[in-house]
Structure 1
């Protein structure tokens, strides 16, 4: 009798939905305002773009793919600006089916915190025509879990962690 009482006290908080056509097809649904699962491209008032890529992890390298809308002022022939950014670089720009640009970047999450790195896309046919793209990421420490990556973001590698305690250097005498 004691075991039956013990088992029933553990199941008191679990409830199952009644079978209905809605329950039979049910999946977990999140409010869209609470969780967007894709990289967001936000036009800025100055004609540039802000790209929000969500949570990333330090010392990891990511491929980020997003589509910019059609920009007639740039023309069809575009290229990344030859301005070096040690943490973010454009690896590919191709026309998308809707007339915009599909941009592929590689980003090295080097530091914890809210990071904003900038790249520039130049027109090859129209002089002095360019667009700046700011990539905005929230970077967490590599020891604090694994972020759920947004659609368009893919981890392509991790940098080796250097631990000074593992060094065999004896120091100066």
Structure 2
């Protein structure tokens, strides 16, 4: 163990406590703040639409995602989601943000692993020609592969139960 410890240099960005934790005390890993952005990123695209990056999520988990969009003059103040929702992403609230623009709250159900992109449309209630597409981009990992550090603006609000036929108490047809 001492020989292995001697060969390891101090890793940049992550450091582990040198002392073992006391019985019952949690162990800690410390990350340098500059290594990651910890907030949901909203990026305007060249076609007046927006990409919202929400980071790592887990399959079979339901998340509330809150982000601010900059002001879109064509939409005006009265904005609503399009009546044809995505099956996995649904807008639950749109309010004016205190600093301008819109505060959007949505619910997202991560169904499968991979890099996923779900879209919703925001419509103006006063200008029928105005709409903005919002793409929510998430990296979804299997529910059995650890726990992601959620970005600020993302919180887990539920876990879907995994169906396992061997645990069923159904006896079948007679």
TM category, shorter: 0.7 to 0.9
Moved more, 96-105 or 159-168: 159-168
Query: 2:121 aligned with 1:120, yes or no?
Result: yes
How large is the Cα RMSD of the aligned pairs?
A: 2.3
In structure 2, what is the Cα distance between the partners aligned to 1:146 and 1:71? 36
Check 1:172–1:125 CA distance in 2 against 1; reply closer, same or farther (3 A cut): same
> TM-score by structure 2 length?
0.80
Query: 2:43 aligned with 1:38, yes or no?
Result: no
Give 1:29's aligned residue: 32
* 3-state DSSP of counterpart to 1:165: helix
Aligned residues: 154
Runs of 4+ that moved beyond 6 A: 8-14
> TM-score by structure 1 length?
0.80
In structure 2, what is the Cα distance between the partners aligned to 1:43 and 1:11? 47
In structure 2, what is the Cα distance between the partners aligned to 1:168 and 1:98? 54
Q: Which runs of 5+ in 1 are unaligned?
A: 1-7, 15-26
* 3-state DSSP of counterpart to 2:33: coil
* 3-state DSSP of counterpart to 1:55: strand
In structure 2, what is the Cα distance between the partners aligned to 1:169 and 1:11? 55
Q: Which protein shows a greater Rg?
A: 1
Give 1:96's aligned residue: 97
Give 1:75's aligned residue: 76
In structure 1, what is the Cα distance between the partners aligned to 2:38 and 2:100? 23
Give 1:137's aligned residue: 138
